[in-house]
Amino acid sequence: MKGNSFRVAENSSINRRGHYDLVVLNPELIRRHSYSEIYGQSFKRCKATIIPWSKKEGVFMLYGVEIMLSRKVLSGSRRLATATWSNRMAKFRQDCDKLLACQNEGLMLRTQGIYFIREHTPEIEELVSARVPQNGRICWG
């Protein structure tokens, strides 16, 4: 992950794997690999065992979910609210794009980003709705 981009790297382990809020692993992966391989703390080891298995045998993550929660009600000017929501939605889009990158690489079958937003006004809905990524969903509270 760098800025607003994410890619599965071929030659480095620094800042190259995602941290997802929830994943459902392929049961066949669990049967065939050790915990230390699946856990992926060592990207080098994961790259040598899990990723080749996934490309040959099937995805190793059946489902990946990113979850965000916004419980603070914003106060202040419309300009400030617009900037704040633009930043929040950029982060949400980045997380959803990270999931899609893994899906496009054949490492994850399905993805979903879920953003729980407590504050619900027509203005905020307008700001947010225009920025929801294709694999994202907004849940108003």
In a domain, 34, yes or no: yes
Query: Whole-model pTM?
Result: 0.77
- The overall average pLDDT reported for the chain is 83
At 141 the pLDDT is: 80
For 89, counting Cβ atoms within 10 Å of its Cβ (0-12 exposed, 13-18 middle, 19+ buried), the class is: buried
Could you tell me how many helices (H) and strands (E) the chain has, helices first?
5, 4
Q: Please report the pLDDT score of residue 19 as a whole number.
A: 59
Residue 11 placed within a domain = no
Q: In this structure, are residues 137 and 95 in contact, taking their beta carbons and an 8 Å threshold?
A: no
Structural domain includes residue 104? yes
The answer to whether position 60 is within a domain reads yes
Do the Cβ atoms of 66 and 98 come closer than 8 Å? Answer: yes
In-domain check, residue 127: yes
Place of tokens 């489902």: 63
Q: Would residue 6 count as lying in a domain?
A: no
Does residue 87 lie within any of the structural domains?
yes
Q: Is there a domain that residue 83 lies in?
A: yes
Task: Look at the chain and report how many structural domains it folds into.
Answer: 1
